[in-house]
Each structure stands twice: as C-alpha cells, then as structure tokens.
Amino acid sequence: MDKLKKVLSGQDGNDDLNVLQAANEATTLGWGSRVKGFIVCFAIGVLFSVLGTCLLWVPRTGLILFAVMYSLGNIASLASTMFLMGPLKQVKRMCDKTRALATAIMITCLVLTLCAAFWWKNKGLALLFCILQFLAFTWYGLSYIPFARDAVIKLFSVCLK
C-alpha cells in the first residue's frame, strides 16, 4: 500500500536508485557469510591476476590472456568489498571525493589495458596500464585505512629527500 501511495504521489520517480536500493536491501547475508564471500572473491581476484601475469609469456596470445585475466582479477578484487558493505554503499563510496580520482584512474587504466591488448597489440602499453591500474587500486584501497595515505605520502617524501 505504501508503494502505491508513493507512485500515485509522484515520489517514486527514480527507478534506477530504487533498483539499487532493492538489491542492497535484498542482501541478507550474515557477517560470517559476508566475510567468507569477501575472502573467496578476493582470492579469486588474486588468483586471476597472478595467473594473468604468468600467461603474459605465452607466445602469440599471451598479451590478450594477460590483459583479460589481470583485469578480471582486479574486477573480482574490487567486487569482493561489496560483500562487506553492500553494493549500493560500495558504489557510493567509490564516488566519494576522496576516492573518485583513484576510481576513475583505475577504471580508465582497466579499459586501456584491454585496448592495448586487443586493438593496439602493444605489450609495453599493456604493462604500463596494468602498473597504473595496480597503483590506482592500491591508492583506492589505502583510502579505507585511516591515515594510510598520509603515511605513504610521508614515507615517499622522506625517501625522496
């Protein structure tokens, strides 16, 4: 009945947000299941990334296999955090002003890695974009640990002096 009232009063106009909210509310996993899901998904991501790195040296198709497996590994690792906080909250946090740049660089480098492998067929560029993808993912991950980014900046500033 409440849903009908919202629709009739015009309050139910944002269907995209409602779908995300419904998906978020549908996740009724307990904390233990969430942690297990996180660990399994993250382990799959690491396995794909390592396997992709090993496949880089396969003649002819190695570059494409590397780019696909490494990128799938990063996607799985990123998706693993959705088990801990839920998909809607994860997407919102990815777009926070402290993480938006790292998220944009990570996604851009992921796409460019695949472009370098499939269309440009350039191993050097694919490796460069993978390294940038890794660095952006690391910087993104550090944003969840209080003062971690500040510590890394301070460490590099001391090392470079």
| Domain locations in the chain as residue ranges | 2-159
Please choose, from the candidates 127, 5, 114, 157, the residue with its C-alpha nearest in 3D space to the C-alpha of residue 57: 127
Confidence of residue 22 (pLDDT cuts 50, 70, 90): low
* pLDDT tens-digit readout, 119-146: 998 988 988 999 999 999 999 989 988 8
Q: CA 25, CA 147: separation in Å to the nearest integer?
A: 31
Asked whether the predicted pLDDT for residue 10 surpasses 60, the reply is no
Report residue 83 as tokens.
């088990």
Confidence of residue 4 (pLDDT cuts 50, 70, 90): very low
Q: What's the average model confidence in pLDDT over 44-54?
A: 94
With vertex at residue 79, the alpha carbon angle to CA 121 and CA 109, rounded to the nearest 5 degrees, is 30
Please choose, from the candidates 74, 86, 69, the residue with its C-alpha nearest in 3D space to the C-alpha of residue 23: 86
pTM of the model: 0.75
Q: What is the pLDDT of residue 61?
A: 87
Q: What's the average model confidence in pLDDT over 11-36?
A: 68
* pLDDT tens-digit readout, 57-108: 888 888 889 999 999 999 999 999 888 888 888 899 999 999 999 999 999 9
* pLDDT tens-digit readout, 80-93: 988 888 888 889 99
Calculate the alpha carbon distances from 69 to 14, 16, 45, 72 in Å: 36, 30, 9, 5
